[in-house]
Every structure is written in C-alpha cells, then in structure tokens.
Structure 1
Amino acid sequence: MNEFRTEVKELQIGQKIRQLRQLRRMTLQDLSDTIELSKPLLSQIENDQVIPPLATLLRVAKGLRVPLQTFFEEEDNQQKCLVIRADDAKQMNRSPGHSGSPQPYFYHSLAYGKKHKHMEPFLVEFDPKQTDQSLPVSHAGEEFFYILEGQIELRHGKETYILNAGDSVYWDSNEPHRLRALGTQIAHGIAVLYPRN
C-alpha cells in the first residue's frame, strides 16, 4: 500500500491541479462551481488523498481549460519516441464509495511522461465486486477499448454490449456510457482516450 501511495504521489496530479487552478486565479469553490464537483472532494484530490477517476480528471481538465494529457506529462520531456518499461508503469486506483467516484477500477498510464500527445492510453483493471454499482458518465471525445481478459458490459446510450477477450469497441464519449466487469473474474483491457476540449 505504501508503495502504491508513493507511485501515485510521483504523478503529482493533485499538485498539477492546484498549480493550474492558482495560475487561473480560481479558488477551490470557483472550480467546484465550474465542474459541479464538491469542494471537499477537490481538496482531497489536490492533497493526493483521493485518486481521481478518469471521468473526474476529464471534468477537471475541462474546467481548467487544459488537455487531459497535461496530468500525465513531464515538463521537460521532449522525446519523440517514449518507451515505458513494465517496472515503470504508474498505477492509479479509484477507491470505491467516495463522493464523485461511481466507477471504481485501477488504471495505469501507458504513456506517462510523453508531452503534447493527442491521445491517452491506459491499462485498465475492473473488479466485478467493485464495478457493479457504476454510473454512466459522458465527456467530450472518443474512446477505444480492447478486452485482454474477462468479460465486460458496455452500456452506451440506450444500447448494451457484452464484450469478451479479443473484442474491441470504439465509441463517442459524448453519449452516457459505463463499463463493468461481468462474472467473477477480474477483467483487463487497453483503453485509449481521445479527449476534446
């Protein structure tokens, strides 16, 4: 657990959010009102007490008028080709049950550190015990998901799709959508987000 907290702190997402908010002369209340997330939750995120889910991070990025990838970049990294070794993967976890986090899962940024990227790839892990109560989210952009193992249910708009290992899906993120694992097996997949501000 301590190792996990250390990895999360290395991402400094909370610090980046605070710096961008202060740069725009926004108070926590201003940001809270803009993106309709509670002030206490935003404070917890800024202090690295809560790891924001991707949908929440997208809302924060939109409220701060920055691309999602801002939170996964290193300031001085200008590499044209970035290799992420297995030991260097940055894991992020959404804790179940806190306000504003209806979809608990784990995700790893697969291109952490690459600056000025137009898409954001993640390795995602869904635990069926924790995703059962997930709620639909929507945000500007497009998403691609490839199922590595397990079985996933995607609800997109009014449609429901059952996806198995080897299946892939590409969707418009503006439509309300949610993903959850089915059965008892933990499911893994590769997600690529192309957010639009």
Structure 2
Amino acid sequence: MLMVKIGTRIKENRWRQGLTLKDLSERSGLSVGLLSQIERGISSSSIRNIQKIVKGLGISFASLFDDTDPGENGAQMHQTSRKGIQISVVRGKKRKKLLMPFGGFMELLAPVHNHKMEFIFLRYPVGAKVKEPFSHEGEECGLVLKGKLKAIVGDQEFILEAGDSIYFDSTIPHRWENMAKTETTFISALTPPSL
C-alpha cells in the first residue's frame, strides 16, 4: 500500500492552484505558521483544521488520496452498456493509505471521482483518539471489524465492539477513540462524500 502524507498533498494542491500560504491562511482561517508546519509534517492537525484547509482549497477531504487519474489509486474502472453505470474495483494491495492526525490510517475503498458516497477503512492504533469533535454534511454509518471503539456523537457516548454498527446524522459533531488494547479497525460509509 502507498502511504500519502496529508501535508504533502495539501501543499501539492495549494501549489497547483497558485496559492501562497498567506492566501490559504485567509481562506481557511488558520495561521500561516500552522499551515507551514502541517505541510512540512512538523505538526499534526485536527480533522476540523484539515476540513478548514480543504474547504479553503475548494477540494474534498477524500481528494487528498486521489491523483488526477482515478486508476492511479488502484481502482479499475469499468463502464457497463446499461445506462452508463460505472463499476469500480479497488485492489487491496493498491489502496493508498492516508496517515491521519490521530496517528491512525484511513484508506479509500472506492474512488472519489463522480460518486455519491465515500467508503473508507480506518485503522486506530492503541490509544488513538480524535481529540476534537468534527462534523460534515450528510449521514454516516460504520461497522467495527476488530477491537473496541468509543463513538462520541453530540453529548452521547457509545462503546462499539467487533460486529457492532452505528448510523447517525454527521452534521452532529462526533469523534472516535480506540478503547481496545489492540488496533481497532472500522469501515465507514458517508453520503454525500463530505470528509
């Protein structure tokens, strides 16, 4: 699997648009210093700040995974003759991994190009937690494959173990914590694509 660092992808997108750090600072509301540290990998950031950055860049969170060619992230694109329905297959060994600010990894299970849903696989190492609640447009559901995950949605907390699932309105601020003494893995689907 290829590992993609958030800071590098943010910098690439900023350069592609001809923006300075000051421009992105004005668009995102984050300081030039913090943006520079994130781009250089010196400082990790909350998901909320990453959301501000991608909004300032006018891109989606998931596009941090993607190159311009949808096939470059391991996806094989197939077009059927029936109403132009597109079928995408992403091979497990070719998925890109995105290192998250909380120390875990996120992998896109489907390409982001022209889809109505985001499908992601998350790995939470021991002790990993998303510190700041975040929200995004739409709805989200998820399934714990292995381990134990605490879901904090609004003012409610839920302990989810392997086989447990959750569904909620993702405009409600939410965050996650690995409660297991081992890695926890989680699959999530979001509609519309909004991370």
What TM-score do you get using the length of structure 2 for normalisation?
A: 0.74
Q: 1:178 to 1:136 in 2, by over 3 A?
A: same
**Aligned partner (choices 86, 94, 109) of residue 88 of structure 1:** 94
Identity value in percent: 30
Q: 1:186 to 1:76 in 2, by over 3 A?
A: closer
Q: Does 1:118 align with 2:116?
A: yes
**Aligned partner (choices 135, 143, 146) of residue 143 of structure 2:** 146
| Structure with more of its chain in helix, by fraction | 1
Q: 1:84 to 1:117 in 2, by over 3 A?
A: same
> What's the C-alpha RMSD, in Å, of the aligned pairs?
3.1
Q: How does 1:1-197 map to 2 (within 5 A)?
A: 7-8=3-4, 13-19=9-15, 21-22=17-18, 26-47=19-40, 55-77=48-70, 79=77, 80-94=86-100, 101=101, 103-112=102-111, 114-131=112-129, 134-194=131-191, 195-196=193-194
Give structure 1 stretches of 5+ with no counterpart.
95-100
Give structure 2 stretches of 5+ with no counterpart.
72-76, 78-85
| Structure with more of its chain in strand, by fraction | 2
**Secondary structure of 2:63's aligned partner:** helix
1:55 CA drift (Å): 4.3
**Secondary structure of 1:59's aligned partner:** helix
Q: Is the 8 A contact 2:21 2:35 kept in 1?
A: yes
What TM-score do you get using the length of structure 1 for normalisation?
A: 0.73
Higher mean C-alpha deviation, range 52-61 or range 184-193: 52-61
Q: 1:196 to 1:170 in 2, by over 3 A?
A: same
1:45 CA drift (Å): 4.2
